[in-house]
Amino acid sequence: MTTLETVRPPTNDTEERLLDAALTLFAEKGYEAASVREIIEATGVTRPVLYYYCSSKEDLFKRLVHWKHDEAYRELTKTVTDTKGCANRLRAIMRGSFAFCATDPRVPRLMFQTHFGPTIPGIAEFMTEVAKLRFLIVQQVIQDGLDGKEMSGGDAASLSLIFCCIMDQHINVLARLPKPKKRLTIELADSLVDVFLYGVGSGKRAPVSLPPFAAG
């Protein structure tokens, strides 16, 4: 149940405002383009203050991601344990992720832009590790669904990748548009799960058989 190594959440008020300003600017312009100068200016402090709380820009970013990820991860695991059945769980995951992202669109903007964007040395591996935790939850849910014959058509990894592609890219795209709260709705979440489960074709059902996912 531990996510990565535990990171203390911000205690000091200045530190929290610093992380919040960093969240805003990293989400808006990306890790590289958002400078520490802008971040400290938005916070209303001087540069050494930032380096008093964080050892580097990279450290600031990682602590920020950790902070928000832990929050999302806790909600996600609770969602899964509170729900029974594969289809219901997938619906709950999609709904919960949409709701979480709609609450503060800066978070998905930051996370997915960084994860799907160009590789940043020292950051990319970290993002991959963080994303893997989320992915494994989905994969376990789908594995249970395969075991319980609720679904079929491929291995858990391949199917999870499809599910996450649909979920994450919808969030990434829609969270960047205005009024994401109007877009990341429960109805859309449910419909996307329906498409994942039943498809959009009206013809008779063809047997789906994904090739196994080749790791490495």
Determine how many CB atoms are found less than 10 A away from the CB of residue 215.
5
Q: State the Cα–Cα distance between residues 50 and 45, nearest whole angstrom.
A: 8
Binding of residue 36 to DNA (CB under 7 A): yes
Choices 38-46, 107-115, 141-149, 152-160; region in contact with DNA by CB under 7 A: 38-46
The size of the interface with DNA (CB under 7 A), counted in residues, is 18
Binding of residue 57 to DNA (CB under 7 A): yes
Compare residues 11 and 119 and give the one whose CB is closer to a second copy.
119
Candidate residues 3, 7, 14, 158; the one interacting with DNA per rule CB under 7 A: 14
Helix axes 106-116, 13-33, angle to 10 degrees: 40
**47 is in the binding site of which of DNA, a second copy, none (Cβ under 5 to 8 A by kind)?**
DNA
Q: State the Cα–Cα distance between residues 30 and 8, nearest whole angstrom.
A: 24
**168 is in the binding site of which of a second copy, DNA, none (Cβ under 5 to 8 A by kind)?**
a second copy
Q: Three-class SS of residue 83?
A: coil
CB contact at 8 A, 125 and 143: no
Q: State the Cα–Cα distance between residues 197 and 156, nearest whole angstrom.
A: 14
Binding of residue 199 to a second copy (CB under 8 A): yes
Choices 4-12, 60-68, 100-108, 192-200; region in contact with a second copy by CB under 8 A: 192-200
Choices 39-47, 66-74, 105-113, 140-148; region in contact with DNA by CB under 7 A: 39-47
**Token duo for residue 29:** 């312009």
CB contact at 8 A, 98 and 188: yes
Candidate residues 161, 180, 181, 184; the one interacting with a second copy per rule CB under 8 A: 161
Rg of the chain on CA atoms, in Å = 19
Q: State the Cα–Cα distance between residues 19 and 10, nearest whole angstrom.
A: 8
Compare residues 15 and 168 and give the one whose CB is closer to DNA.
15
Give the residues lining the site for a second copy (CB under 8 A): 28-33, 87, 112-114, 116-120, 149-154, 159, 161-162, 165-166, 168-170, 172-173, 176, 178, 182-183, 185, 187-188, 191-192, 194-203, 205-211, 214, 216
